[in-house]
């Protein structure tokens, strides 16, 4: 259950001046950066051995648009309004299969695009409960992009990613794209042994995304799956004394390195980067569950700790999540799949393991949620 109105809420997030934060190296791997271009002819007409892109309206563009800093806004999660029996989302005849006991579900037989507002409310709550849900046989990718964005907008203000490619004219869509014939991953693996890089999307924002949508456009023959970890269960596995020690701690989350990497490659920088402080343990506004909220991509340091102290604690938490295969789920992409996850209480990692040269193309819509907050520790 969500915290009651009389329960003290502590440690709201805040944005901090970058000049006041000492940036230190990550204790975890940084994910392989996506390409900032592609072979136009291969995507539009196809190339030897590869068909053209199926959804050319979703091919990425990197413009010179500049956007102002994000302003705080009031967010109320629609899951608070949902019927927890899910009569519209999961009516009789819908196939539901849990991937694991604690995280991940596959659903067949309901069309997300046809849900009423009440059904969307149920979707928000169900995803908060199951953390990540793969909906099969969806028509989402076939909608006009403007309609897909309107759908996402119901769940919150849409985030515009500062560096990623987007369909021309639709900067709110974050594209995950490797075109036919792309071999940039080969250079990555010349210096790295693994592409696994756990993260929660744009955790450096003051109000990071909540209910998040990712839908497939082109899928490799095999591989390219996405791993998800349950940050609630990761918190629950800790001892009471250790949980209590984590409460009251803040961590800095930085977007500077991501923007600098894009600048270095000649990519887009739509908005100047920010650093935010978030509670190490955050509370979900609908379920009331507490979750670890740190990740090796964007978390930089524990506020008030010396570097060695911070690195030691963060490395333990990162390893705890990464090794927690018994609270993780692996989603296999299929055509017409929409994966919806709650970015507040999960972390995830794409896997760059498919055969070199095959296309992998997805679109993400990321409605922002509330600023992370912590509620008091309870033994």
- Predicted confidence at residue 28, as pLDDT, reads 45
3-state secondary structure 6-65: CCCCECCCEEECHHHCCCCCCCCCCCCCCCCCCCHHHHHCCECCECCCCCHHHCCECCCC
User: Stretch 167-187: mean pLDDT, rounded?
Assistant: 91
Q: What span, in angstroms and rounded, lies between the C-alpha atoms of 47 and 59?
A: 16
Instruction: Supply the pTM of this predicted model.
Output: 0.93
pLDDT band with cut points at 50, 70 and 90 for residue 15:
confident
Residue 20: count of CB within 10 angstroms of its CB = 8
Tens of pLDDT, residue by residue over 56-70, are 999 999 988 999 999
Does 120 fall in a domain? yes
Residue 18 has pLDDT above 50, yes or no: yes
Measured CA distances, 40 to 37, 59, 363, 374 (Å): 9, 9, 18, 47
Burial group, residue 278, by CB count within 10 angstroms (0-12, 13-18, 19+): buried
Does 40 fall in a domain? no
Does 2 fall in a domain? no
Residue 290 has pLDDT above 50, yes or no: yes
108: left (phi over 0), alpha (psi -120 to 50) or beta: beta
Residue 333 has pLDDT above 50, yes or no: yes
Q: How many domains, in total, are found in the chain?
A: 1
Please give the share of the chain, as a percent, with pLDDT higher than 70: 92
Residue 21 has pLDDT above 50, yes or no: yes
Q: In what order do the strands lie in the sheet with 173-178?
A: 95-98, 105-108, 132-135, 338-342, 211-218, 360-365, 173-178
Does 172 fall in a domain? yes
Beta strand spans in 146-279 (E): 173-178, 211-218, 226-230, 250-254, 275-279
Does 304 fall in a domain? yes
- Predicted confidence at residue 34, as pLDDT, reads 73
The DSSP H or E segment spanning 153 is helix 145-153
Does 230 fall in a domain? yes
The DSSP bridge partners found for residue 347 are: 229
pLDDT band with cut points at 50, 70 and 90 for residue 152:
very high
Does 273 fall in a domain? yes
Tens of pLDDT, residue by residue over 207-218, are 999 999 999 999
Does 375 fall in a domain? no
Domain containing residue 169: CATH number: 3.60.130.10
Report the mean per-residue pLDDT for the chain: 92
Residue 318 has pLDDT above 70, yes or no: yes
Measured CA distances, 78 to 75, 279, 349, 367 (Å): 9, 23, 26, 12
Tens of pLDDT, residue by residue over 218-259, are 999 999 999 999 999 999 999 999 999 999 999 999 999 999
**Residue 138 DSSP SS3:** coil
Residue 7 has pLDDT above 60, yes or no: no
**Residue 215 DSSP SS3:** strand
Q: Which of 309, 339, 276 is nearest to 20 (CA)?
A: 276
User: Stretch 335-341: mean pLDDT, rounded?
Assistant: 98
Burial group, residue 193, by CB count within 10 angstroms (0-12, 13-18, 19+): exposed
Structure-block tokens of residue 305: 């700790």
* Residues 226 and 350 sit within 8 Å (Cβ to Cβ): yes
- Predicted confidence at residue 20, as pLDDT, reads 59
Please give the share of the chain, as a percent, with pLDDT higher than 90: 78
Q: Sign of the CA dihedral 254, 258, 259, 263?
A: positive
Tens of pLDDT, residue by residue over 84-128, are 999 999 999 999 999 999 999 999 999 999 999 999 999 999 999
Q: In what order do the strands lie in the sheet with 299-302?
A: 14-16, 275-279, 250-254, 299-302
Q: What span, in angstroms and rounded, lies between the C-alpha atoms of 274 and 366?
A: 18
Lowest mean pLDDT among 156-160, 248-252, 265-269, 275-279: 265-269
Lowest mean pLDDT among 77-91, 122-136, 168-182: 168-182
Domain span at residue 327?
14-33+48-331+351-365
Q: Which of 141, 124, 140 is nearest to 209 (CA)?
A: 124
């Amino acid at each position: 259950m969500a915290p009651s109105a009389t329960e003290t809420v502590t440690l709201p997030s805040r944005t901090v001046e970058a000049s006041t934060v000492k940036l230190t190296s990550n204790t975890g791997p940084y994910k392989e950066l996506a390409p900032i271009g592609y072979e136009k002819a291969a995507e539009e007409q196809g190339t030897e051995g590869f068909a053209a892109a199926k959804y050319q309206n979703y091919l990425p563009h990197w413009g010179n648009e500049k956007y102002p800093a994000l302003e705080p806004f009031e967010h109320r999660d629609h899951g608070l309004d949902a019927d927890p029996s899910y009569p519209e989302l999961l009516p009789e005849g819908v196939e539901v299969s849990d991937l694991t006991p604690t995280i991940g579900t596959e659903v067949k037989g309901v069309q997300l695009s046809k849900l009423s507002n009440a059904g969307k409310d149920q979707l928000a709550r169900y995803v908060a409960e199951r953390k990540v849900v793969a909906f099969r046989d969806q028509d989402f990718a076939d909608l006009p992009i403007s309609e897909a964005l309107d759908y996402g907008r119901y769940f919150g203000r849409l985030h515009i990613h500062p560096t990623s490619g987007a369909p021309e004219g639709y900067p709110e869509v974050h594209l995950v794209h490797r075109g036919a014939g792309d071999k940039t991953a080969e250079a990555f693996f010349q210096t790295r042994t693994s592409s696994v890089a756990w993260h929660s999307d744009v955790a450096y924002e003051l109000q990071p995304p909540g209910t998040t949508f990712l839908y497939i456009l082109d899928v490799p023959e095999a591989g390219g799956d996405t791993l998800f970890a349950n940050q609630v269960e990761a918190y629950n596995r800790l001892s009471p004394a250790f949980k209590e020690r984590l409460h009251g701690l803040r961590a800095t989350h930085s977007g500077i390195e991501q923007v600098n990497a894009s600048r270095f490659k000649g990519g887009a920088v739509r908005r100047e980067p920010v650093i935010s402080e978030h509670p190490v343990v955050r509370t979900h506004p609908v379920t009331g569950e507490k979750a670890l909220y740190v990740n090796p991509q964007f978390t930089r340091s524990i506020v008030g700790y010396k570097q060695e102290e911070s690195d030691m604690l963060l490395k333990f938490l990162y390893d705890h999540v990464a090794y927690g295969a018994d609270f993780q789920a692996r989603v296999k992409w299929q055509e017409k799949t929409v994966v919806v996850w709650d970015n507040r209480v999960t972390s995830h990692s794409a896997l760059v393991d498919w055969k070199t040269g095959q296309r992998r193309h997805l679109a993400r819509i990321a409605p922002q949620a509330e600023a992370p907050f912590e509620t008091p520790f309870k033994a």
